[in-house]
């Protein structure tokens, strides 16, 4: 029951070319970030080994809601104010390009459905209206929806985000890992890195999102682990949702898969303090809230086949840390997507790889780890 639905399918094992004596880069974390980074580094001519305490995609990358969204974790209008109009626009555009790349490699693990960002009350309606207008002003494709009478509970308007889609994240990351292995990347699964010093490599990339506690003290201060909980139902007899839906500032999110199952996550705010943890277990209050919402959505309680938890990393400005780690020679990071890492993880894994390979990029300034990491 606690195996995430996404990982509950048999996939061919990722076969790498075996152990290399010494590598140029050691990557910690075999989720979307670590895998995309490793692939980009291997294509750049470097010898790479990826270490993970578990198996490929068994962290947040195989435990999430399966939403593949453009943009960052903040609303677009808020992002413009907080990060600057130019930086926000660049970030949103780049994630749209990353979504196109994701589509190109994901095959049947991705469906370009669009997504529906719903307002649960009038206050939220005002907020997403501001977001909608900001998106349209800057030329991003978005549609406003008022007629939501087919949905229960009642919602007060929505933005339909055209470029977004639905991802089978476990399948996608394992597929990408297969490509990385074919390019020479070595995977060392079920091996927890206790200290950066144990890694026999010129350079190290930390790609642990919210689960890298203990690797660097300053990282433990800057990245706050948060737990998300998700359920999946047995296939329903009716089709109700044709794309990912999310409401209440993204606290609640659900989608219906092609076989008519519902995947529903969220309600972290029902017990916000206990959910600020890296303990990956499900809890009764949140599971009850999820069950209650299933009844609201469907009008009856369906059979639930999977219940699981996952950990992601939050930052105070809702932007990830990507780039060189200050005061630690040869150490890099791409992590902490504030619950928005499916597309950003792909993009930031590649971004940190290009930085390591000596390329400059406007986004590296926005994501600079130095803005949040204070060395002790
Ligand atoms: C419940 C939930 C729902 C979410 N929903 C969405 C969504 O719908 N859309 C979206 O875009 N994002 C979502 N996210 C966020 C998204 O899943 C993550 O941001 C993304 O998967 C991060 O990928 P990653 O590769 O950076 O990290 P992860 O996939 O977490 O991989 C990090 C890996 O590092 C390994 N690791 C950690 N420490 C060590 C160590 N010391 N030694 C060795 N290995 C180590 C872990 O085992 C783990 O496998 C959700 C997250 C959760 C938890």
What does the alpha-carbon distance between residue 129 and residue 114 come to, in Å, rounded to a whole number?
18
Strand partners, 313: 225
193 Cα nearest atom in ligand 1: 42
Using a 10 angstrom Cβ sphere, with 0-12 exposed, 13-18 middle and 19 or more buried, the burial of residue 374 is: exposed
What does the alpha-carbon distance between residue 375 and residue 103 come to, in Å, rounded to a whole number?
39
Please state, as a whole number, how many other Cβ atoms lie within 10 Å of the Cβ of residue 369.
26
Candidate from 58, 113, 211 with most ligand 1 atoms within 8 A of CB, to mutate: 211
pLDDT at 375: 67
Q: Per residue in 324-353, is it b (16+ CB within 10 Å) or e — as a string?
A: bbeebebbbbbbbbbbbbbbbbbbbbbbbb
DSSP string for 235-250: PPSS---SS-EEETTT
Main-chain phi, psi angles of 47, to 5 degrees: -90, 130
For ligand 1, atom 14, the nearest C-alpha belongs to: 339
Is there an atom of ligand 1 within 6 Å of 208 CB?
yes
Helix and strand numbers (H, E) in the chain are 9, 17
Residue-range domain boundaries for the chain:
5-64+169-223+317-371, 112-166+224-311
Is there an atom of ligand 1 within 6 Å of 184 CB?
no
Is there an atom of ligand 1 within 6 Å of 59 CB?
yes
Do the beta carbons of residue 53 and residue 187 sit within 8 Å?
Answer: no
Q: Which helix (H) or strand (E) holds 205?
A: strand 201-206
CATH class in words for 5-64+169-223+317-371: alpha beta
Main-chain phi, psi angles of 333, to 5 degrees: -145, 145
For ligand 1, atom 44, the nearest C-alpha belongs to: 52
Is there an atom of ligand 1 within 6 Å of 62 CB?
no
Reduce the DSSP state of residue 147 to 3 states and report it: coil
* Ordered mean pLDDT values, 10 residues apiece, the chain (376 residues): 92 82 95 98 98 98 98 98 98 98 97 98 98 98 96 96 98 98 97 95 97 96 98 98 96 97 95 93 97 97 98 98 97 98 98 98 97 82
CATH class in words for 112-166+224-311: alpha beta
pLDDT at 168: 98
Strand partners, 142: 161
Is there an atom of ligand 1 within 6 Å of 335 CB?
yes
What does the alpha-carbon distance between residue 203 and residue 332 come to, in Å, rounded to a whole number?
8
69 Cα nearest atom in ligand 1: 11
Common-topology check for domains 5-64+169-223+317-371 and 112-166+224-311: no
Q: What is the pTM of this model?
A: 0.98
pLDDT at 376: 58
Do the beta carbons of residue 21 and residue 168 sit within 8 Å?
Answer: no
Reduce the DSSP state of residue 143 to 3 states and report it: strand
Please state, as a whole number, how many other Cβ atoms lie within 10 Å of the Cβ of residue 368.
16
Is there an atom of ligand 1 within 6 Å of 140 CB?
no
């Amino acid at each position: 029951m606690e195996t995430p639905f996404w990982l509950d399918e048999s996939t061919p094992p990722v076969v790498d070319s075996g152990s290399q004596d010494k590598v140029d880069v050691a990557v910690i974390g075999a989720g979307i970030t670590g895998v995309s980074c490793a692939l980009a580094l291997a294509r750049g001519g470097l010898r790479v080994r990826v270490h993970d305490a578990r198996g490929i995609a068994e962290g947040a990358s195989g435990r999430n809601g399966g939403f593949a969204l453009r943009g960052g974790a903040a609303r677009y209008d808020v992002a413009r104010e907080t990060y600057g109009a130019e930086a926000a626009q660049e970030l949103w555009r780049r994630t749209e390009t990353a979504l196109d790349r994701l589509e190109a490699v994901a095959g049947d693990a991705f469906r370009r459905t669009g997504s529906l960002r719903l307002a649960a009350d009038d206050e939220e309606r005002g907020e997403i209206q501001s977001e909608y207008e900001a998106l349209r002003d800057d030329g991003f494709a978005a549609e406003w929806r008022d007629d939501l009478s087919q949905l229960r509970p009642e919602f007060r308007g929505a933005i339909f985000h055209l470029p977004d889609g639905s991802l089978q994240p476990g399948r996608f990351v394992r597929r990408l890992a297969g490509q990385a292995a074919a390019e020479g990347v070595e995977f060392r699964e079920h091996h927890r890195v206790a200290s950066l010093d144990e890694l026999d490599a010129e350079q190290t990339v930390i790609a642990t999102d919210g689960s890298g506690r203990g690797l660097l003290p300053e990282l433990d201060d800057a990245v706050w682990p948060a737990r998300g909980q998700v359920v999946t139902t047995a296939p329903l007899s009716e089709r109700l949702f044709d794309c990912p839906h999310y409401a209440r500032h993204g606290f609640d999110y659900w989608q219906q898969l092609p076989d008519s199952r519902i995947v529903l996550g969220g309600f972290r705010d029902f017990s916000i303090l206990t959910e600020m943890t890296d303990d990956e277990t499900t809890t009764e209050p949140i599971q009850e809230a999820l069950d209650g919402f299933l009844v609201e959505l469907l009008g009856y309680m369906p059979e639930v086949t999977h219940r699981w938890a996952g950990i992601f990393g939050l930052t105070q400005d809702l932007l990830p840390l990507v780039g060189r780690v200050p005061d630690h020679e040869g150490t890099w990071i791409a992590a902490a997507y504030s619950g928005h890492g499916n597309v950003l993880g792909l993009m930031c894994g590649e971004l940190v790889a290009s930085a390591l390979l000596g390329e400059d990029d406007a986004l590296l300034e926005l994501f600079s780890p130095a803005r949040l990491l204070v060395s002790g």
